[in-house]
Homo-oligomer: A and B are copies of this chain.
Amino acid sequence: MDKQELKKAGLKVTEPRLKILDFLHQSSVRHMSAEDVYKSMLEADQDIGLATVYRVLTQFEQAGLVIRHNFEEGHSVFELKDEHHDHIICIKCGKVDEFLDSTIEERQRTIAQERGFKMTDHALCIYGICTDCQE
A interface, CB within 8 angstroms of B? 70-74, 88, 90-91, 97, 99, 101, 103-104, 107-108, 111-112, 115-131, 134
Contact = CB atoms under 8 A, between A and B. Distances in A.
Contact of A124 (B120, B121, B123): B123
Given A70-B72, A101-B107, A104-B108, A134 B118 contact: yes
Contacts of A121: 91, 126-128
Contact of A111 (B90, B99, B115, B129): B99
Q: SS class of chain A's interface: helix, strand, loop or mixed? A: mixed
B116 A88 contact: no
Copies in the complex: 2
A116 B104 contact: no
Given A104-B104, A122-B125, A123-B125, A130 B111 contact: no
A83 B94 CA distance: 27
